[in-house]
Structure 1
Amino acid sequence: MSGNGISEQTTCNKEKLQNSLELPSPGLMTDLRKEGEDQATNNEAPETQCVNEVLGRSTSAPAHSLWSTEASGSVRLRIDELCPQEPITVHQMFMTSVQKYGNLSALATKRNDKWEMITFSEYYYLCRMAAKSFLKLGLERFHSVAILGFNSAEWFFSAVGAVFAGGLMTGIYATNSPEACYYVARDSRANVIVVENQNQLDKILQIKENLPHLKAIVQYSGQLQIKMPNLYSWEEFMGLGVDISDKTLDEVISSQKPNQCCVLIYTSGTTDTPKGAMLNHDNITWTAHHASRAGDMQPAEVKQESIVSYLPLSHIAAQIYDLWTGIQWGELVYFAQPDALKGSLIRTLREANPSSHMGVPRVWEKIMEKIKEEISHCTYIKKKLVTWAMSIILEENQRSPKHEEKSFLFTLADALVMEKLCAEMGFSCCQKFFSGAAPIGSDTVMFFLGLNIWLYEAYGMTESAGPHFMSGPKAYKLPSCGRVVPGCRCKLANIDADGVGEVCFWGRNVFMGYLNMEEKTMESLDEDGWLRSGDFAKMDEEGFLYITGRLKELIITAGGENIPPLPIEEAVKKVVPIISNAMLIGDRRKFLCMLLTLKCVINLDTMEPTDDLSLEAVEYCQQLGSQATNVSDITDGRDKVVNQAIQAGIARVNAKATSNAQHIQKWTILKKDFSVSGGELGPTMKLRRPIVLNMYHSEIEAFYKE
């Protein structure tokens, strides 16, 4: 089997591939495109026309409700005057893309220092092969194929193949423990689990006897180290379905309806038990089309976008951005190495030169810290030049929109410094930069704005199939997370005197419900079907949204004061730059306290925080007159200079508080930073507050001892 997942037997020339896929002839495809263009003025997209002609219109399954908690359930689609588009299935979306982009490169995998690429036609064919193999293994309708591993072409083939075969594609976070894997696999009734390597396989072997629906395990990377029944290598798996006919698969595909579930996204459990959010075909295809256009992603016939896939595909943000939008618009997806977040991501970015890039806030923070470290090693003259250039660019970017003509000084600063710096990061061709999955700090946004990198924030939920609000070239205002995606709606519920209310969503992207959790589903949807976000926000007269806090994170003190912790935590991190993480404590307590961690060096092999302070933290200490180089030099009040500086910073934050109840009365520095491996952070670097409360119970109780 070759490195890109295509065996010698399945490698096809264009003519053979076209015949095996039963695609329309090139002439027919041209006629259909032209017909689509002619009818575009009738408010129906050309790609919808093409799908209708080749595959027939999709009809939704009978449904009477906007929600369902059954895997086999169907829902009423939220089609209205804002969202009149014809609903389509994932297969119809993919077929349309193959017709338009079949010969374009779709996926790029690096093996033996060489990038190997496959086209969209080959991509589609391999997904069909995977679907046939799933059917051969006995995948039942609306049972899941669970995928456990790092991003790869095989991950994509498994995901799309599972949907084609009538199953539910279900990602499992690669960092999950065996117990967490068991929860997802059992809850989703997994018939097949696809794992990356021996490490991930070991987790499943520990739990497989307790998974009543499990029929097979497939390993897609590395050689099988053991032989056992119903365990297959990727090569073996892809050959299983050779005797499943195209007709058999097509019958399964044609039975699928846009309002039926095809994807399960499990919430990461940062605030509650993980829940399986059910997304239907229309959730996926509508969001991939419309939300991405709000972010200015271009279709390949205009310009082929390229991206690097490295964030967890089990999370909705990466899955929509990398997988489904990639299919929709004909993007070229480069797969990063498994150690991307240990340092190899920059190297991949330099080689791929993506046109668009997305990161969670912690990734952007790490890039910022890396850039600051590189600048600190520059000569005095070069350091002054970079500082000058960043100040010029930041000032002008704050004053005028991105698309407006810039001054000569701005152009000079960008050409002399920033273009070279962007090239070093692999961003020389990158035009769009996105941040999502969690709120991003204003200091990070401002730092990148000084590099002439505009970070577009996307705001949404797993339950909204990703972004519901988007910033972009035409919708940018700090510190807002943008405007509502066209075609979607929003409202603020229970607005207070300051104009703050709970954000509620409506649109084709809103999920079906939580699998087997009717009570939780009804907590998330109000009586009219609006999705409650649990986030508090205010909206300005231009429709820009500003998040102010989260309902489940809201601290209600013993005195009844409602306090959103996030703004206070961000304020402390901003005034005391040595702080890495800050968590406010005080729910049902007499006063507020705070847990603090310091910026430190990360062990790239284990991803564990070390005792060594980061270069930025060491420089901060030196500016104060401290010689501290380790976290342990500062904890327990050992370094009076640094501790006094932290206290002074917190005093400045307290001075700006709206009431005495919002003052931080006590704080402590923990002995190590928060991390994914330590359990304090989720897979997307979100703070897992309930976990932290349990882990540091003794430190918290010490605050409140008389």
Structure 2
Amino acid sequence: MFSLFLARRVLSGRRVVAIGLDIAGLHCWIPRNVSEAQSILKNSGTEQEDPPASLWTTSASGLVKLRMDPTCSQTPITVHQMFQESLEKYGALNALASKKNGKWEKITFLEYYRLSQKAAKSFLKLGLERFHGVAILGFNSAEWFISAVGAIFAGGIMTGIYTTSSPEACHYIAYDCRANIIMVENQKQLDKIMQIWNRLPDLKAVVMYKDSLPEKHPNVYTMDEFMELGNEVKEEELDAIINSQVPNQCCILIYTSGTTGKPKGAMLSHDNITWTAAHCSRAGDMQPAEIQQERIVSYLPLSHIAAQIYDLWTGIQWGEEVYFAEPDALKGGLVEVLKEALPTSHMGVPRVWEKIMEKIKEVSAQSGFVKKKMLSWAMAVSLERNLSSSNSDLKPFRMKLADSLVLAKIRHALGFSQCQKHFCGAAPLSAETLQFFLGLNIPLYEAYGMSETTGPHCMSGPYVHRRHSCGKAVPGCKVKLVNEDADGSGEICFWGRTVFMGYLNMEDKTREAIDEDGWLHSGDLGKLDKDGFLYVTGRIKELIITAGGENVPPIPIEDVVKKELPLVSNAILIGDQKKFLSMLLTLKCLVDPETSEPTDSLTQEAREFCQKVGSRATKVSEVVRTRDPVVYQAIQEGIDRANIHTAANAHHVQKWALLEKDFSIAGGEFGPTMKLKRHTVVEKYKAEIDSFYKD
């Protein structure tokens, strides 16, 4: 339904009246006169007089042309303008929920906004300069959000640093973004910065926002002290900076992982953030609070764009209530928060969903015979229904019975009893994981994008969904394939308002990523079907080219091996410039809940596999160090079965080895978002790989 509305909004630092259309919660602003239209165009970088010369820049203070076209014509706005618009609608609603002393403490959007303004003034008092960095080093929290928003209000560039970063990694980012202020969570993170402070010429102050300071250091403040610093800063000073901001300039830096070289600072504009928060989220069916206030749990690293756009910026755009998990969320504490928050929407990287799957299997394996049979029956019914092209062909009574007797209870135990949308992103999702959750009547909707596309450029959702696809390009965005092969697979390229401004101070890398026509090259391989659904098949840099010239995408082969061998946790295909393919394997094992380190104990699923083939092994070391003959024979048989499914003989795995320890973040094989670092694996296990090719 279309409805005309009048609304007040800020453009170029002044309040004007604009007429807009409200179309299913998407606001399209129409200027009322020529002067307002010129102001809008100037801010968007599309004014005819003296526009920015390029779609990209590598300067922190640079302006870019926005990718405006008829399919993507919504008026650009700044982060502050987005917050003000949301404030008018959602000011009285709860915005952020933090657990303190066993109780949830909540603040409203109005309080959130005022605290962000207060933080912005304090940043100015500490000497924050325009387009200099405010780095945030800590786990997800209300303080993280307030610092991020306040830094942008104050004209800085907000930059997250992973909590797992070493002092040297912290130095690289803080130096590169010219950080004036660094916000740290606790003493552990403060110690890192103290080690490198003398090598950060732009650093003026550090704020520790969780712990108290055991001893006073010059220019180091607690959060309470910091928030009071700005009391002397006049409203007019902050307003002048806010009003000078335009949508086509940088406000956020997202640093890439640096697995193939130095980390790159992807510059995101106000428009990147505000447009993506509004339109990509609606493509995934996230609801505005006037229809339904979404509840989400924030636990994935906010230094990564996926979590930041989903938790922080979409939260402001649509009036969501965000619950903050404890730092041990990925060590086993996540489910408890989910059970208390009861999210309506949840996002996880593949490894998070895999860990949930493994835990359910573990509990099921320890259950009695009847419970096991009930779960198996219920999941079979749900999987059949969800895989059916016409669900109505199946008897609805069976599905209702299976759901009410078994599946609903499992979803309740996971904290998903009110969850309507379950998203997955940041890495490919295996077919096994997808099917397992379909068996629980939990469809996982994949999203696809990069730091350089402000997160999701393609989205799946309840109404746009196809199995094994990451969905379609968000309305207003485009996707194309270049250099397609005979099978229709090519490099995925992006166009739209999600596309970043460029890499900070890296012109050569920016030119590599953005071509002459302004298309962003992803480095990923994919296929498009006739309906526009995208299927990601691998990365160009991960593509294995054998000595015989065969191009082999590793992920499909690895997925088949893991499907054939349910005791295998990770399977890594090897063979670039080699005569044949080989594989490194790790076994499923329990994880230490305190350290998240893999232990030597096999999971229940892995032990059952061993028992089934005639082995009594309960530890990884018992299998690997003794080269347990029955387990090794079973693995070889599984590899042989997997080879039958490959496209050609050159795609067969001819040799393999079991590693003594599963992969982990601490081990270096996974990044902070549990994404596999293939280059690190190849370097770390070079001796094992070399042994495959000695003869």
Q: Could you state the TM-score of these two structures normalised by the residue count of structure 1?
A: 0.93
Question: Matches of 1:164 and 1:300 in 2, distance apart?
Answer: 24
1:385 matched to 2:392: no
Q: CA deviation at 1:79?
A: 0.5
8 Å Cα contact 1:47/1:96 also seen in 2: no
Structure 1, 557-566 or 307-316: larger mean CA deviation: 557-566
Match of residue 611 from structure 2? 622
Residue 171 of structure 2 corresponds to residue 182 of structure 1 = yes
Whether the 8 Å CA contact 2:288–2:318 is kept in 1: the answer is yes
Verify the 8 A CA contact 2:544 2:553 in the aligned structure 1: yes
Q: Where in structure 1 are there 5+ consecutive unaligned residues? A: 1-28
The answer to whether the aligner puts 1:59 opposite 2:40 as a matched pair is no
Equivalent residue of 1:82, what SS? helix
Q: Which residue of 2 aligns with 1:504?
A: 493
1:195 aligns with 2:181: no
Call closer, same or farther: CA 1:408–1:637 in 2, change over 3 Å: same
Match of 2:83 in 1: 94
Conserved in 2, the CA contact under 8 Å of 1:44 and 1:85? Answer: no
Does 1:266 pair with 2:236? no
Residue 368 (structure 1) aligns with: 357
CA distances 1:507-530 after superposition (whole Å, capped 9, x unpaired): 000000001111111111111010
Q: Unaligned 5+ residue runs, structure 2?
A: 10-15, 46-50
Letter aligned with residue 672 of structure 1: K
Note the C-alpha offset of 1:620.
1.3
Which one-letter code corresponds to 1:678 in the other structure? Answer: G
Find the aligned partners of 1:671 and 1:208 in 2 and give their Cα distance. 39
How far apart are the structure 1 equivalents of 2:200 and 2:299? 29
- Partner in structure 2 of residue 166 of structure 1: 155
Residue range with higher mean Cα deviation, 620-629 or 636-645: 636-645
**3-state DSSP of counterpart to 2:44:** coil
Residues 4-63 of structure 1: CA deviation (Å, up to 9, x unaligned): xxxxxxxxxxxxxxxxxxxxxxxxx99759x9997417999658579999xx85723541
Q: Secondary structure of 1:293's match?
A: helix
1:638-657 pair list within 5 angstroms: 638-657=627-646
Indicate whether 1:133 and 2:133 are aligned: no
Match of 2:96 in 1: 107
Return the alpha-carbon distance in structure 1 between the equivalents of residues 164 and 181 of structure 2. 19
CA deviations on 1:112-167 (whole Å, 9 max, x unpaired) are 11000000000000000111111111111111000011000000011011110101
1:226/1:397 CA distance change after superposition, 3 Å? same
Shift in Å at residue 226 of structure 1?
2.5
Tell me: CA distance 1:296–1:44, structure 2 relative to 1, closer, same or farther (3 Å).
Answer: closer
The question of whether the paired residues in 2 share the 8 Å contact of 1:50 and 1:96 is answered with no
Deviation by residue 1:599-635 (Cα, 9 ceiling, x = unmatched): 1111111111111111211111111121111100111
C-alpha change, 1:472 and 1:51, in structure 2 (3 Å) is farther
Q: Distance in 2 between matches of 1:459 and 1:466?
A: 7
Q: Which residue of 2 aligns with 1:40?
A: 21
Partner of 1:280: 269
Q: For 2:192 and 2:135, locate their aligned partners in 1 and report how far apart those are by CA, in whole Å.
A: 13
1:532 is aligned to 521
Distance change in 2, residues 1:302/1:404 (3 Å): farther
When the two structures are superposed, what TM-score results if normalisation uses the length of structure 2?
0.94
CA displacement 1:315-361 (0-9 Å, x = unmatched)? 00000000000000000000001111111110000000000000000
User: Is 1:579–1:597's contact at 8 Å kept on the other side of the alignment?
Assistant: yes
RMSD (Å) for aligned C-alpha atoms? 2.1
**Distance in 2 (alpha carbons) for counterparts of 1:363 and 1:658:** 31
Whether the aligned pair in 1 keeps the contact of 2:19 and 2:29 (CA below 8 Å) is no
Amino acid across the alignment from 1:283: N
Q: Partner letter of residue 587 of structure 2?
A: L
1:704, 1:249 → 2: CA distance? 64
Pair 1:685 & 2:669 matched: no
Mapped pair 1:669 → 2:658: yes
Which moved further from structure 2: 556-565 or 312-321?
A: 556-565
Cα offset, 1:637, TM superposition: 5.2
What residue is the counterpart of 2:447 in the other structure?
458
Aligned AA for 1:422? R
- d(CA) in 2 for partners of 1:50 and 1:183? 44
Q: Distance in 1 between matches of 2:194 and 2:546?
A: 46
Amino acid at match of 2:471: G
Whether contact under 8 Å (1:145, 1:193) holds in the other structure is yes
**Count of matched residue pairs:** 675
Decide whether aligned partners of structure 1 residues 45 and 564 sit closer, same or farther in structure 2, where only a CA change above 3 A counts. Answer: closer
Q: Which residue of 1 aligns with 2:48?
A: none
Q: Distance in 1 between matches of 2:313 and 2:66?
A: 19
Q: Kindly provide the amino acid, as one letter, of the partner of residue 689 in structure 1.
A: R
Partner of 2:12: none
- Aligned with 1:417 (options 401, 406, 416): 406
Q: Which of 218, 232, 242 pairs up with 1:229?
A: 218
Maintained 8 Å contact 2:357/2:436: yes
8 A Cα contact 1:139 1:192, kept in partner: yes
Matched with 1:6 is none
CA gap of 1:497–1:91, structure 2 versus 1, over 3 A, is same
Percent identity of paired positions between Structure 1 and Structure 2: 63
Counterpart of 1:362 in structure 2: which amino acid? R
Equivalent of 2:238 in 231, 249, 272: 249
Q: Which of 466, 469, 479 is equivalent to 1:480?
A: 469
